[in-house]
Structures are given as structure tokens and as C-alpha cells.
Amino acid sequence: MSEEQDDDAVAAEWEAMADDGAGDGDGGGEDAAAAEWDAMAAEGEAEVATDASGRVLDQDEIDSLLGFDADDDDAESHGIHAIINSALVSYERLPMLDIIFDRLVRVMTTSLRNFTSDNIEVSLDNITSVRFGDYLNSVPLPAMMSVFRAEEWDNYGLMTVDSALIYSIVDTLLGGRRGTAAMRIEGRPYTTIEQTLVERMISVVLKDLCASFEPLSPVTFTFDRLETNPRFASIARPSNAAILIKLRIDMDDRGGRVEILFPYATLEPIRELLLQRFMGEKFGRDSIWETHLATELWRTKVDVRAVLDEVQLPLKEIMDFKVGQTLLLNATENHPVALRCGDCAVGTGRMGRAGKHIAVRLEKSFTSQSLGD
């Protein structure tokens, strides 16, 4: 009974306090309490969700920062997810690839025009680095994936032809009228005729790819197999990094994409060459110029003097030289003759006669090391 009485007393006290607050200012106490709570909440948000200028971030900005945007299907490409995923693919820039595939675009434009007898424009979209497994999962089906082998590098590459280009090539090669879109029949496998025609086009592209790499490093790309299922086109581990080159082929109002993928392991044998910024760069050395310079140096003509002896005379005696005067040398008939090229001694020999000419037979030659000493 005493506990119930205590509870009733506490309840009555709270009711009296509430009535007093309501009577003093028509809910002013409640408004003050609410304002105090709002200020505390705002202060807490400012501590954990402010930018560099101290401005409070709203919920949309926080979601965008963390990569949790519900409206964005590719949320992993933004915010914290983008920072984390950017460290997954570590690659180095290979400047020479830009030059090689610019050359490929020009060569393919000519060869595909001859192949299809149609007006074709080839353009390079971009060159990026991807995970091999991520790329296979992103290939839109149906598509044809050609596995080709780089003979000199002893490894493989992958070429993907999308559905739009497949139907466009087939329609063009089989006499389809210009100005009309290629008819697509989805939901069925590619026929043998379609695969054969696309394989011929891939062979043309591989030949052009060989020509593009030839100035840098001659390589032969050979067709290995054609797959329509990405699981059967695995040429590297899913976690391996690879270079992806996207090409766009336009034929009037038709066309599609060709994507060429090189795993880094395939390009490893020529990695040093791909790091060059221009053709022929050798990191400060040019072997062509070195060879040319060495060849010209060996052809250079120099004066070689045979010195019998050297004597020192006072300037007065030299000024008194007369025609017919005899100079006595300290050398004897068996004394070696010094051979000099400028101020450098190149060897010693013996003087003699060869026919009607005075000759010197070389008996000792000085090496470049002894000349340096």
C-alpha cells in the first residue's frame, strides 16, 4: 500500500508541474524543450556530417558520398565504393598503345572498305584497364568472342563483336540494301553462315592488328577459336588486369562495336617498348644513331706521322739554319721509329724499304687502354 501511495504522489507532482508550465506561457516550456532538442540534434549532425567549410550535409549528400544512391544502378562507381574499387585494378599507362591503335583505326578503315565494298568509318572510343572477370560479366549477349594467339609473345588475346555489328556485317556481305537497318532475330543461336562471315572479318582485323604492331615489335596474331559463351572464352584468371580497347565501326546507318582485350601478361614481353612516348625512344639512347655514328667514325681519315727522333735546340741556332746544313740525330739505324697520330703515340716500328718507297714495319701497337693511361 505504501508503494502505491508513493506512485500516486509522484504522478500528482508531475501533473502539477505540467499544469504550471502550461499556465505560464501557453506551451512555452514545450516549445523551449523542442527547440533545445533541435539544437542538440543539429549540433550532433554538424559534428559528424559537415564538409570542409563547416556546412551541414543533408541525407542525399551523405548517400552520394558513401555511394548509396538508390536511384543509381551503378552505385559502386561513386563515393567510397569508387575509392575502394580504384585500388583493385593497378595499372601503368602505356603511351605507345595510343599510337598503335590510332594506326589500327586508319588501316582497318581501308581494309574493311575493301572487304565489304561499303563506306565504313572506324573510330577509337577509349582504352581502359579492367579486371578480366568483370569484363566477361559485362559483355552483352548475344555476342561472338574470338580467342586469338600472339605467337611471338606465347599468349592469348580476346576480340568481342557485338550483336549489332554481326547482323550489319552479315547483311552487307549478303547483299543487303543500303540505308536499311539490319534485321535482327533475337533469341536464336548464330548460324554457321553468320559465324563464317564474322570469322572472315575477324581475320581481316587480326591482319591489320599485326601491321599496327609491326613498327614497334613484329608479332603474328592467329585465329584460335570462336565462342558465343563467355565462360568458354577464359584466357586469364578473373582477377587479372587487362587492357580493353573499344572500337566503333559505322556503315551508313548500321554498325556496332569491336572490343579487343589484352591481358597484361600478354603485353609483358613488350612492356618496355610500350612505355615509350614516341617511336624509337630508348630512354636516352638511340641504337640507330649510335650505329651510324660508329660507322662514320671508323671511316674517318687521320694523319699518322713516323717520327725518327726529336732534338731540342736553342732558338738562336734554329734562326741560323741555312740550306744544306746537316742536323745530327741521336737515333741509330736500328732505333725504333715512333708512329704518332696527333699528340698520341699509336705504336713503334722499324724503317725499311718496300720497292721504291720508304716503309715502316709495325712492331708494337698501343691499345686504347694504354693510350688512356
| 83 and 194 together in one domain | no
Is the C-alpha dihedral spanning 175, 181, 182, 183 positive or negative? negative
Count of structural domains within the chain? 3
The one-letter code for the residue type at 48 is: V
Averaged pLDDT score across all residues of the chain: 76
Per-residue pLDDT at 334 exceeds 70? yes
Q: 208 in a domain, yes or no?
A: yes
- Number of residues that this document lists for the chain: 373
Q: 267 in a domain, yes or no?
A: yes
Per-residue pLDDT at 138 exceeds 50? yes
57, 87, 117 - which closes a domain: 87
Q: 184 in a domain, yes or no?
A: yes
What single string gives the DSSP state of each residue in 238-279? TTSEEEEEEEEEEETTEEEEEEEEEEHHHHGGGHHHHT-SST
From the number of C-beta atoms within 10 Å of its C-beta (0-12, 13-18, 19+), residue 276 rates as middle
| 122 and 262 together in one domain | yes
Q: What CATH number has the domain bearing residue 338?
A: 2.30.330.10
Q: Which domain holds residue 348?
A: 301-323+330-372
**pLDDT in the model for residue 371:** 46
**pLDDT in the model for residue 10:** 62
Q: 36 in a domain, yes or no?
A: no
Q: Which residue has the cell 601478361?
A: 265
Q: Which of 254, 246, 286 is nearest to 183 (CA)?
A: 254
| 340 and 308 together in one domain | yes
- Under 8 Å between Cβ of 222 and 149: yes
| 118 and 191 together in one domain | yes
274, 289, 312 - which closes a domain: 274
Percent of all residues in the chain with a pLDDT value above 90, rounded to a whole number: 6
Q: Which of 108, 111, 109, 116 is nearest to 178 (CA)?
A: 116
Q: 15 in a domain, yes or no?
A: no
Question: Between 173 and 57, where is the model more confident?
Answer: 173
Looking at residue 353, the DSSP 8-state letter turns out to be E
| 252 and 305 together in one domain | no
**pLDDT in the model for residue 179:** 56
| 74 and 138 together in one domain | no
How crowded is the C-beta side of 362, counted as CA atoms within 13 Å? 10
| 232 and 105 together in one domain | yes
pLDDT digits (tens, 9 = 90+) for 164-202: 888 888 888 887 766 555 555 566 778 888 888 889 999
* 3-class state of residue 339 by DSSP: strand
| 69 and 149 together in one domain | no
| 81 and 119 together in one domain | no
What single string gives the DSSP state of each residue in 222-239? EEEEEESSGGGG--S-TT
| 265 and 307 together in one domain | no
| 229 and 335 together in one domain | no
User: 22-26, 94-98, 262-266 — which is least confidently predicted?
Assistant: 22-26
What single string gives the DSSP state of each residue in 179-207? TSPPP---SSPPPHHHHHHHHHHHHHHHH
Confidence of residue 15 (pLDDT cuts 50, 70, 90): low
**pLDDT in the model for residue 58:** 73
Per-residue pLDDT at 294 exceeds 60? yes
pTM (two decimals): 0.53
Q: 212 in a domain, yes or no?
A: yes
Q: What CATH number has the domain bearing residue 108?
A: 3.40.1550.10
pLDDT digits (tens, 9 = 90+) for 144-155: 889 999 988 888
Overall average pLDDT of the 21-42 stretch: 56
Q: 296 in a domain, yes or no?
A: no
**pLDDT in the model for residue 121:** 87
